[in-house]
Amino acid sequence: MKKTENKDLNRLSKKEFKSKKKIPVRVLLDNVRSMNNVGSCFRTCDAFLIEKIYLIGITASPPHREIHKTALGATETVDWEYKKTPEDILKKLKSDNWKIILIEQTNKSIALNKFDPKKSDKYCFIFGNEVFGINDKILSNGDLSIEIPQFGTKHSINIAVSIGIVIWDYFIKTISK
């Protein structure tokens, strides 16, 4: 066994990525503090051909050295938009029939393994602040709240890891079928 070399991975060029049809998923980062988490989000979204990332509030936006450290160029491929507040974005998404999916522990959340996405629907997954979670103003806009089952002593999973888990779950339930 030997490692596959980068030249043999058949990855898309930036130009090919931009013109490739994306999966109908967007990610909204609500007041995410860590620029490393933001960069990781970009990299994961690039890996799965995610349509767009929304950066809200205190969430840092490119270009920034700390984001670039983990994004490794994905800020140049994945479409993104920054807004100080989420209201306009959420209103537009809802009017365009996007499903607003909160990744949050709530009194109405379902376990991720029970989430049954439809390939024909468009989804915007919202991830909140590393300490405080999703802003209460956003909660009322959610169509569904999902939590990742956990069995240890901590009450949350790092946001960058959560994004990878949720997007992979969506991908295997819809795209890879």
57 three-state secondary structure? coil
Give the span between the Cα atoms of 29 and 134, in whole angstroms.
9
- Domain positions in the chain are 20-147+155-175
**Which pLDDT band, with edges at 50, 70 and 90, does 29 fall under?**
very high
pLDDT in tens, 106-157: 999 999 999 999 999 999 999 999 999 999 989 999 999 999 999 999 989 9
Q: Which CATH class is domain 20-147+155-175?
A: alpha beta
- Is the CB of residue 60 less than 8 Å from the CB of residue 66? yes
